[in-house]
Amino acid sequence: MIIGYARTSTADQEAGLEAQVRDLGAAGADKVFSEQVSATKKRSELDSAIDYLRDDDVLVVTKLDRLARSIRDLMEIVERIRSKGASLRILAMDLDTGSATGKLMLGILGSVAEFEREIMLERQREGIAKAKAEGKYKGRAPTARRKADDVLRLLGDGLTEAAVGEALGISRSSVQRIKRAGAA
């Protein structure tokens, strides 16, 4: 059986998710698991897809970056798939781990993808440092601190920390920080 897995990082990437599902269907996927979640978060549909695998099944993804966030993550996922008696196929690379060559290529390509990501992050850090030095980069605006007056007012009105956080769209820990700062 061919099992498909599609993922986008955010909910606003609906067209990308639909394209992946379409491509997985065209590749013969009998069942497709899909989700819209960052690769750094818990991917429950990926877990479900791997749990669904049986002997001789194939897990199919459109691209390597839809499956794993690092070479370590990739190798752990591949091992979970292998332990189920199944294999992995990546459409964009025409790669199948059912063969020795496919396993070798996956390791090499996964390492290259991780290297590219590290280079990109390094350039991003350099760009941010340069922008900070030039006074052009201020970082993300602290959204909770801008609501400090409202937080203190609502707490004074007798609302709980959780209720204040929910009312203002900030976390309870942010409410607690503002409360401590206001008491000081």
For 111-161, write each residue's pLDDT tens digit. Answer: 887 788 889 899 999 999 999 899 888 777 677 878 888 999 999 999 999
Record the pTM: 0.61
Q: For all residues of the chain together, what is the average pLDDT?
A: 89
Residue 87 bridge partners (DSSP): 58
Q: Where are the domains of the chain?
A: 2-97, 110-139, 145-183
Catalytically annotated residues: 9
Choosing among 3.40.50.1390, 3.40.50.2300, 3.40.50.10470, 3.90.870.10, the CATH entry for 2-97 is: 3.40.50.1390
Give the mean model confidence (pLDDT) for residues 37-62: 93
Share of the chain above pLDDT 70, in %: 98
pLDDT at 183: 66
